Chains A and B, each alone.
Chain A
Amino acid sequence: MPLMRNLSFVADSFRHLGDNEAIPASGDIIVPLARLEEAANRLASHKGKLGIHVPNTVKPASLTAHFNEVALISVAFPAFSDGRGFSIARRLRRNGFTGTLRATGPLISDQYAYAKACGFDEIDLPEALAARQTVDQWKKGASAISLSYQRGYARPSTILDRRRAAH
């Protein structure tokens, strides 16, 4: 599916493994959370990166022990209006995850800045949605609001910090 990263559609090196598909010897793969242990055990002999796909009901703290096994965590967004994934990203980053964080689902260009601020690196979009919302729209969405009030999120200095700097 189209992968939005740094405001371009880029090639996706990862591939979602089917439920019954055996873990291949090489290639960047994303496995469902249920297969994490199985995949992690093969990690030493696997040529390629391992990613996991988690539902937005996952307890982020349960993933901390696996941070050094996975290069990517894909968080499901069943609908753009279901904002649970934003809090999951925020907690994963706080808990020290430094790998790639991917939002997977029908996010819209108006949410790009929010996703980035919460710690996501990229968005894996359904084909039909990517066809409707052009790269230009994603760029505009990302820069529509140049200022923010909330401190502590992953973005340039906030209004509060700039006020302090000005005095």
Chain B
Amino acid sequence: MYRYDEFDRTFVKERVAEFRSQVERRLDGSLSDDEFRPLRLMNGLYLQLHAYMLRVAIPYGTLSARQMRQLAMIADQWDKGYGHFTTRQNIQYNWPKLSDVPAILDALAEVEMHAIQTSGNCIRNVTADQFAGVAFDEVEDPRPTAELIRQWSSLHPEFTFLPRKFKIAVTGAAHDRAAIKAHDIGLRVLRHPDTQAIGYEVSVGGGLGRTPLIGKIIRAFLPRQDLLPYLEALMRVYNSEGRRDNKYKARVKILVHETGIEEIRKAVEEEFAVMDGPSIAADLKEVERIAAYFAPPAYETLPAASTSLQAALESNAIFARFVETNSFKHKVPGYRAITVSLKPIGGAPGDATSDEMRALADAADQFSFGELRVTHLQNIVLPYVKDDDLFALWSFLTDHGLATANIGLITDIVACPGMDYCALATARSIPIAQAIATKFADPDRQKLIGELGIKISGCINACGHHHIGHIGILGLEKSGEESYQITLGGDATETASIGERLGPGVTADAVPDTIERLVDIYLAERQADERFIDTYRRVGLERFKGAIHAVDA
């Protein structure tokens, strides 16, 4: 994985010192509160319901075991012994004191981490496919591209005071596991159909929030060397033309929606045409320098099938269920990527205690070349596990309560922090997730239902990505009561779609039963091995409407 050189190290150190000075200048009155607010946000520091919240960047979700241990140390020393992994592959601490934040930033810098641009109206932490570099279906590892963009977007002189936040995601595979169409800019690495040269398909204007929109393709093929100049052109058009009169209409998705993709494409291409590309682009050597950090680890040459794994699978049904559910096909024979669920039945989705973080770091050291990934579905991936080691890993995870076998299933729920933590929330999210997971706790029933993604947001800002959940749940407040609006048919992948509203909102108590009735309708209608989303698309919304009972609303 990427390692800082002297320049990266100095840069982050200077940024920490700058933030310390910003805190001091706020305290001595040189900076007004209005001036300080965006500055602290651009360093990941929010003022939440009960306390400050610090969001730490985990660029494209890649972490070393050493970094994970440091995150655990920070949780113990300056928080309440846990952290929350987010839908943007970051980690949030919910209880730091303002005066401790510079010390936390120092501790992060020690392990080449930071909180730069995890909030604010700037280019946010770049995300990528959690199986980057190991996925069987990959054209190219997207992380070197993501790292190049991370560096380029850091303290950008022109694009740090944008109309609104700006999120970029990169995937290197045809199957989109990075939800690129739900991002302000989505990049998909691909080969040119004629020349076979590597380049990018660029989409723009995706986003969730109040106005959910799927990104549109603005450039079908962008040659690799044009990446930074083209991004600069696109950002300049957005910085100049994006609305600033209404924060709810300030994202680039609204600009694209109101202006039209053709007009925006024309404006970006005109800007791009007059730029001096080579003076802006990273040269090939820099691209290669970054890519070298993501070279494959020292894989062993292994047979495609492991006899010890086969024996263990046959003798232990619980282990077999774990392997079936939580493993992902690797590009190297004899290896798998294993997803560790942070969604135990009854737990808070995405939360990990410091003990769990250390256990994950130990597992990574022992079984996965010391590397981990955070997924946008709030789980943790061990990307390089030998088939021969799977049973030992599972036993280790079981001992630490981390062997929940529910990846992609109905209890693998994404949820924002909701009213329990967030100042913006209008309803609770975590308790709803817990109640649904408890209702569907039976592993056999989960398996029978199959792939089904539930996503819950506690307010219209949609941090829980409910619009792109197969079943989305949005918590609102209606005359003093929580009311949950359910949407069906959302999809975060290359077949991206926004969920449709099922009907009137239901009470918190009624959510689990409503979900159960939806599942029953699906099971009754399901043909062959259709997933929930497939059945939904075939039979349509109407068939599911009976799941909402009048008494629940």
Contact = CB atoms under 8 A, between A and B. Distances in A.
A87 B17 contact: no
Interface in B160-191: 160-162
Interface stretch (B7-15, B49-57, B135-143, B462-470): B7-15
A83 B161 contact: yes
A151 B282 contact: yes
Contacts of A44: none
B192 interface: no
A144 B38 CA distance: 18
Contacts of A90: 158, 236
Interface stretch (B25-33, B257-265, B391-399): B25-33
Contact of A110 (B22, B152, B154, B159): B22
A162 B7 CA distance: 9
A133 B30 contact: yes
A15 B513 CA distance: 71
A147 B11 contact: yes
Contacts of A86: 157-159, 161, 239
A145 B157 contact: no
Given A83-B162, A110-B39, A149 B157 contact: no
Given A83-B158, A152-B276, A160 B18 contact: no
B22 A145 contact: no
Interface stretch (B106-114, B193-201, B283-291, B337-345): B283-291
A162 B160 CA distance: 23
Given A110-B18, A159-B11, A87 B158 contact: yes
Interface in A37-51: none
Nearest to A162: B7
A163 B160 contact: no
Interface string B279-310: 11111011001000000000000000000000
A149 B157 CA distance: 10
B289 to A, nearest CB: 7
Nearest to A88: B240
Given A137-B25, A159-B7, A148 B14 contact: no
Contacts of B32: 132
A147 B32 CA distance: 27
Interface string A145-167: 11111111101000110111001
A151 B281 contact: yes
A145 B240 contact: no
A134 interface: yes
Contact of A159 (B151, B157, B228): B151
A84 B235 CA distance: 11
A73 B285 CA distance: 39
B274 interface: yes
B21 A167 contact: no
A81 to B, nearest CB: 5
Given A87-B236, A163-B5, A163-B286, A145 B161 contact: no
A145 B280 contact: no
Most chain A CB within a 10 A radius of its CB, from B155, B232, B240, B289: B240
B400 interface: no
A111 B31 CA distance: 13
B7 A113 contact: no
Contact of A153 (B14, B30, B158): B158
Contacts, number: 110
B121 interface: yes
B18 to A, nearest CB: 4
Contacts of B157: 86, 113-114, 117-118, 148, 150, 153, 155
Interface in A59-117: 80-84, 86-88, 90-91, 94, 108, 110-111, 113-114, 117
Contacts of B156: 150
A81 B236 contact: no
Contact of B279 (A80, A110, A133, A152): A152
A140 interface: yes
Contacts of A132: 29-32
Interface in B236-287: 236, 239-240, 244, 274-276, 279-283, 285-286
Interface residues of B, number: 48
B396 to A, nearest CB: 40
B516 interface: no
B172 to A, nearest CB: 22
A145 B29 contact: no
Contacts of A81: 38, 121, 161
B324 interface: no
Most chain B CB within a 10 A radius of its CB, from A113, A137, A147: A147
B11 to A, nearest CB: 5
A82 to B, nearest CB: 6
A163 B158 CA distance: 23
Nearest to B152: A149
B100 interface: no
A82 B158 contact: no
B35 interface: yes
Given A86-B161, A110-B18, A144-B17, A149 B154 contact: yes
B240 A137 contact: no
Nearest to B276: A152
A152 B280 contact: yes
B508 to A, nearest CB: 37
A30 B155 CA distance: 32
A146 B154 contact: no
A149 B290 CA distance: 14
A80 B489 CA distance: 42
A163 B7 contact: yes
A150 B286 contact: no
B158 A80 contact: no
A80 B161 contact: yes
A142 B375 CA distance: 38
A98 to B, nearest CB: 17
A80 B14 contact: no
A86 B122 CA distance: 14
A83 B281 contact: no
A114 B7 contact: no
Contact of B18 (A145, A151, A153, A167): A145
Contacts of B22: 110
- The 7 lowest CB-CB distance pairs between A and B, nearest first, are A83-B161, A117-B157, A152-B280, A114-B157, A144-B18, A159-B7, A149-B151
5 contacts: A86-B161, A144-B21, A145-B14, A164-B285, A167-B285
Given A86-B159, A147-B10, 10 more contacts: A82-B161, A83-B239, A84-B240, A87-B240, A140-B21, A150-B158, A150-B280, A151-B279, A151-B282, A153-B157
